[in-house]
Amino acid sequence: MPRIVMKFGGTSMAGIERIRSVAARVKREAEAGNEVLVVVSAMAGETDRLVQLCREAAALHDPSEYDVVVASGEQVTAGLLAMTLQGMGCKARSFMGWQLIKASGVHGNARVETVESATLDEALKGGTVAVIPGFQGVSEDGRVATLGRGGSDTSAVAIAAGVRADRCDIYTDVDGVYTTDPRIVPKARKLAQVTFEEMLELAGVGAKVLQVRSVGLAMREHLPLRVLSAFEDEPGTDIVAELSGEHMERNLIAGIAADKNEARVTLTGIADAPGMVAGVISPLAEAGIQVDMIVHAATPNTGSSDLTFTVPRASLSQAMAVIEQLKGASGYDQLVTDDAVAKVSIVGVGIRSNPQLAAKMFEVLAERQINLLAVSSSEIKVSALIAEDQLDLAVRVLHTAFGLDAEQAA
Amino acid sequence: MPRIVMKFGGTSMAGIERIRSVAARVKREAEAGNEVLVVVSAMAGETDRLVQLCREAAALHDPSEYDVVVASGEQVTAGLLAMTLQGMGCKARSFMGWQLIKASGVHGNARVETVESATLDEALKGGTVAVIPGFQGVSEDGRVATLGRGGSDTSAVAIAAGVRADRCDIYTDVDGVYTTDPRIVPKARKLAQVTFEEMLELAGVGAKVLQVRSVGLAMREHLPLRVLSAFEDEPGTDIVAELSGEHMERNLIAGIAADKNEARVTLTGIADAPGMVAGVISPLAEAGIQVDMIVHAATPNTGSSDLTFTVPRASLSQAMAVIEQLKGASGYDQLVTDDAVAKVSIVGVGIRSNPQLAAKMFEVLAERQINLLAVSSSEIKVSALIAEDQLDLAVRVLHTAFGLDAEQAA
């Protein structure tokens, strides 16, 4: 019998009416012959309310007491959903995090370690829907532990892996993963299928849809994910290891990612000697600063070179402080920074086998007089750093050029 | 080192400001050299909100799911109080009901069975204040179990007994036990000391102060209780096995209880034969109806008698139905009922050794032309059933006659 995990976010659990409509969906899946586990978030706004109470109680609060307080939100929705299902004639019971989810790591930001699958198996085989509060488990010291804000997606995936579910469905208030941000491109289209890798690279687009950590976990666990609307009865987006069936004919490019959260750093006149790049990048990494889009090429016969990279805008001043301390050792001429930049990327498994896609991207941007400040590429993504005020234009023209606009699709 | 349990009700926990003032009191007791356990209620209104959510979710909800939902309120306040104490520099941690309170009986109305006192001992001996959510524990099947509405007093007493505390202090929104209902007698006075038995008999007066079940449990466990205000820094009322010290000189009468929740039932012309009274009372008891103030005396040489008793007003129609079914077997002439009656009682350990107190009560009532419909007495209480519209007058004159008015006291 297929075993599925259904995960519902806070908006879907906000009030009894919505819980009733969640229960109706759950019942339908159970009646269709699935073994069903449901992972629920707290009612929308409830976790914020509880976090605020903790802040007011003590500025520097004990994370294990914080966990006791904030974990209560999902306990409430788990109990309410179980009784609503029972009221609809569907066998159900709630389990608390402390009854079956062993977590490790620090309080307030723990990780799911093991799931007591024997207890769940027994319930599921008896035809009972298991309702589990997301975002929590029990720590090694036997206390309530939460998994960090937004951790319910990850806990749903971890529970699905723990009980060897066939699929994990994430019901949310968006109805799937789009080819790009629909606020920039109104013609953005919902993708029927996307690979895990593409989903991770589209994070800038998909961040509001799914926690990145949960996608990485599902990929490692070979667990197919589905993102779909909690409110509409429409197919969502399947997130899979490899495109399959009709979807193999999908566009080579899955979508266009846009990221305004970048700042550019350039060091000029670096001595052209081994270890000079590492001498800059390593201290930044040690300071916990994420460095991206590293571009370095020596100018032949000059003995010196420029190094350009990006850091998150929020880390720029910290990065500058680290680099200024290096001045003597690394011997660069000038430190130039620019935080009015943005990154636009084409993402798709097709890039792997079609080098001409990168070339096409550069041509399309050049036609619109969009200057490339830096370029980087991975197996399934090509990114260009451009001026921030050209970002929306860049996303639009690339979306059209790669055949992603809604009316262009079949 | 003295070990005390402090219990705080929902009004005292309603919001961070109040929790802070609770924490200040707890800290003071800890710094005074006590081992302190704190039992907390949910924020005022929170349990009602959660119960309402359950009602909306399903009319006939599973009590074990109800327990999961409603137990969350005390979990939140326990965590908040623990972190507030820590923020004030007082070592503290919360324990969940499932970590240390084993309960038995039905979900939604369970009983505390055992307390994991070893775990608590360890914390207390290390100078840590233990904060425990009231009203809950873990059932035999390993699930969250609640103790029934208002159960936090009882769980505080059970926990105090379980850890062999020296005292259990109940902080509430009234500041102690009064000689009578201050709404009837503005001159009602706070008692410094009252015995368990008196407290139980004063239930009509004291019901809003303490759960009756918790008083009975404390009496059996020989655990001194104190009722005091959560908001004012004043001595409250000590509830003890025997009056002690200066309090032995207290009035012979502790207080005047008033109860409007009575209805009178009279059966006339009952055959004067063995077993006839039992033949009426037993079927009522079997139907779960509380019968009180049973008065029966045969009229000599008539061969028949009257039987009068009271039942709770809410049970009157049910009692009448039971009695009408008996008509053939018990052979009575008439069934007469009256629900415009009330019970006034004098309560005090002095009654045991001073029979003239009952006589004085009857004289005082007679002087005011208050007719006695029935009389009953126990070791420490004499009750008279009177017309309901004479109740307030009766309470006032008795309060004055027995020297309880505020300005009469020393």
Residue of A nearest to B15 (CA): A53
Q: How far apart are CA A237 and CA A349, in angstroms?
A: 16
Confidence of residue B173 (pLDDT cuts 50, 70, 90): confident
* DSSP assignment letter at A313: G
pLDDT given for residue A204 in this prediction: 57
Beta-carbon contacts of A124 under 8 Å, excluding residues fewer than 6 positions away, are: A3, A35, A36, A37, A130, A163
pLDDT at position B199 over 50? yes
Using 50, 70 and 90 to split pLDDT, how confident is the model at B92? very high
Show the CA angle centred on residue A40, arms to residues A34 and A44, nearest 5°. 145
CB contact under 8 A, A65 and B54: no
- Give tens-digit pLDDT for A100-132: 999 998 898 888 899 999 999 999 999 999 999
What token pair was written down for A145?
Answer: 């532990």
Calculated CA dihedral for residues A63, A68, A71, A73, nearest 10 degrees: -130
In terms of Cβ atoms closer than 10 Å to its own Cβ (0-12, 13-18, 19+), residue B158 is buried
- Does residue B79 surpass a pLDDT of 60? yes
Give the separation between CA B40 and CA B6, rounded to whole angstroms.
8
Which of the two residues, B374 and B407, has the higher pLDDT score? B374
Say whether B69 and A79 touch across the interface (CB within 8 A).
Answer: yes
Listed in sequence order, the residues at least 6 apart from A326 whose beta carbon sits closer than 8 Å to its beta carbon are A279, A280, A283
CB nearest to B68's CB, from A56, A71, A75: A75
The confidence score (pLDDT) of residue B364 equals 95
Mean pLDDT rounded to a whole number for chain B: 90
**Is B322 an interface residue toward A (CB < 8 Å)?**
no
Say which range, A50-59, B1-10, B150-159, has the weakest mean pLDDT.
B150-159
Q: How far is A272 from chain B (nearest CA, A)?
A: 55
Residue B54 forms contact with A (CB below 8 Å): yes
State the pLDDT at residue B329. 67
pLDDT tier for residue A410 given thresholds of 50, 70 and 90 = very low
pTM of the model: 0.81
| Residue B301, C-beta contacts closer than 8 angstroms, at least 6 positions apart | none
The chain-wide mean pLDDT, for chain A, equals: 90
Do B78 and A49 touch, CB atoms closer than 8 A? no
Per residue in B271-305, pLDDT tens?
Answer: 777 778 888 889 998 888 888 888 887 777 777 78
Residue A376 CA to its chain's centroid (Å): 21
Question: What is the full DSSP assignment across B341-355?
Answer: EEEEEEE-GGGGG-T
- Candidates A378, A318, A297, A310; CA nearest to A342 is A310
B58 contacts chain A (CB < 8 A):
yes
| Distant-in-sequence contacts of A378-381, Cβ < 8 A, 24+ apart | A378/A201, A379/A197, A379/A351, A379/A352, A380/A195, A380/A197, A380/A198, A380/A201, A380/A347, A380/A348, A380/A349, A380/A351, A380/A352, A381/A201, A381/A257, A381/A345, A381/A346, A381/A347, A381/A351
Cβ–Cβ contact A141 with B under 8 A:
no
Share of chain B above pLDDT 70, in %: 96
Question: Measured on CA atoms in the order A94, A99, A101, A107, is the torsion positive or negative?
Answer: positive
Nearest to B54 among A53, A61, A83 (CB): A83
Q: Domain A245-410: which topology? A: VC0802-like (3.30.2130)
List where CATH 3.40.1160.10 sits in chain A: 3-173
Q: Dihedrals φ, ψ of A45, to 5°?
A: 95, -20
pLDDT band at A134 (very low <50, low <70, confident <90, very high): very high
The answer to whether A50 contacts chain B (CB < 8 Å) is: yes
Give dist(CA A206, CA A221) in Å, integer: 20
Q: Looking at beta carbons, which residues of chain A come within 8 Å of B76?
A: 50, 53, 68-69, 72
For the residues of A318-333, what is the DSSP string, one character each? HHHHHHHHHHHHH--S
Each residue's pLDDT tens digit, A273-302: 777 888 888 899 888 888 888 888 777 777
CA distance A158 to A99: 15
Q: What percent of chain A has pLDDT over 70?
A: 96
- Outline which parts of chain B fall under CATH 3.30.2130.10: 256-408
pLDDT tens digits for A318-365? 999 999 888 776 678 889 999 999 999 999 998 988 889 999 999 999
Residue of B nearest to A131 (CA): B65
Q: Which residues contact A183 (CB under 8 A, 6 or more apart)?
A: none
- Whether residues B96 and A68 touch (CB distance < 8 A) is answered with yes
Contact between B19 and A80 using a beta-carbon 8 Å cutoff: no
Mean pLDDT lowest among A11-15, A194-198, B4-8, B210-214: B210-214
Give yes or no for a contact between A166 and A2, defined as CB atoms under 8 angstroms apart.
yes
Answer whether A80 touches B (CB < 8 Å). yes
pLDDT score, position B410: 42
User: From the CA of A114, how many Å to the nearest CA of chain B?
Assistant: 19
- End-to-end CA, chain A: 35
Q: Which of A67, A68, A78 is the closest to B68 by Cβ? A: A78
- The matching CATH number, chosen from 1.25.40.10, 3.30.2130.10, 3.90.1300.10, 3.30.70.100, for B256-408 is 3.30.2130.10
Q: What angle do CA A273, A275, A277 make, to 5 degrees?
A: 95
Is the Cβ pair B72, A72 closer than 8 Å?
Answer: yes
For chain A, residues classed under CATH 3.30.2130.10 are 245-410
Q: Which residues contact A279 (CB under 8 A, 6 or more apart)?
A: A326, A329, A330
Touching check for A63 and chain B: CB below 8 Å?
no
Any A CB within 8 A of B66 CB = yes
B44-52 mean pLDDT: 94
Q: Which residue of B has its CA nearest to A21?
A: B57
Helical H runs in A93-243? 97-100, 117-125, 152-162, 196-201, 203-206, 212-220
Model pLDDT, residue B183 = 87
Q: Does B87 touch chain A (CB under 8 A)?
A: yes
For the stretch B344-401, pLDDT in tens is 999 999 898 888 999 999 999 999 999 998 888 888 999 999 999 999 999 999 999 9
The pLDDT confidence band at residue B204, using thresholds 50, 70 and 90, is: low
Superfamily of domain B3-173: Acetylglutamate kinase-like (3.40.1160.10)
For an interface test with B, give the residue of A65, A90, A98, A143 to mutate (most B CBs within 10 A): A65
Of residues B19, B76, B98, nearest to A50 (C-beta):
B76
